[in-house]
Amino acid sequence: MIAPENKNKNTVERPYVMCLMMTSVDGKILGEKWGDSRQVKKLRGKFEEIHELIGVNAWIVGRATMEKDFTDFAKPILKKGHQEIDRQDFVAAHEGASFAIAIDGDAKLGWEKPTMYGDHVITILTEKVPNAYLAHLKDIGVSYIFAGTTEINLPTALKKLRQLFGIEKLMLEGGAHINGSFLNEELIDELHQVLLPIADGTMKTSTLFEIDPKVKKKGATLLKLSNVQKMEDDVLWLTYKPKY
């Protein structure tokens, strides 16, 4: 769970956050439910195309998205033997300045190597995670930062990403709950919605933003449309700026 926090956003030095998501016309985001026809596969490919056009070299997702789309539900690895590790941020040796970042407060992701598609892996944890888990991350060279005792504090996480890794721009790429948490904390500076000519129509599929009513701070967030680009195959690339 993401912990809400009252803050003066002008005092927090953090990356500029751009949320990039691909949706159906009814706002659904789980593309695997749309079938595997050649046309659908081509449409799903627009996401990576626009990601490359934007050109941000650091991307962040929630735990559920990371394990479903990238780590193939690998189980956490715990180093054997007694471990005593201070709750200090760990910046592993890495080359380049591209990063794959996961929000994983409960240490549920299984990491086997320190890179994802050539990007250095950073995982965002809470202080309650096991010592044996941290020991394994250190052994394989995965960087980790702490952003809360028992729940993730997003402003703290973003501040550390800027300070420790020099990340000035960050691409937020889901899932729905993480997107909603960023929106709820007013941490999204720009929204890029890749609107596909697909109607999902399912009742339970996740939407672009989902916020737990128990932590939701305000009503709806107003947006200002700053750009519309029509691409081939009737895809719309919409760019918004939130009006907090």
**Is residue 210 in a domain?**
yes
Q: Name every residue whose Cβ is closer than 8 Å to that of residue 217 and which is 6 or more positions away in sequence.
A: 4, 184
Q: What's residue 2's pLDDT?
A: 57
**Cis amide leading into 175 (omega within 30):** yes
Distance CA 241, CA 244 (A): 9
The boundaries of the domain holding residue 26 are 13-242
Mean pLDDT for all residues in the chain: 93
pTM of the entire structure?
0.92
Confidence of residue 10 (pLDDT cuts 50, 70, 90): very low
pLDDT tens per residue, range 139-185? 999 999 999 999 999 999 999 999 999 999 999 999 999 999 999 99
Distance CA 77, CA 60 (A): 21
**Is residue 189 in a domain?**
yes
Phi-psi map region of 149: left, alpha, beta (phi>0 left; psi -120 to 50 alpha)? alpha
Confidence of residue 83 (pLDDT cuts 50, 70, 90): confident
As a whole number, mean pLDDT of residues 39-56 equals 94
**Is residue 25 in a domain?**
yes
Q: Are 101 and 68 in contact (CB under 8 A)?
A: no
Question: Residue 90 maps to which CATH number?
Answer: 3.40.430.10
**Is residue 81 in a domain?**
yes
Counting the structural domains of the chain, the total is 1
Q: Would you state the structure tokens that stand for residue 55, as one six-digit string?
A: 């050109």
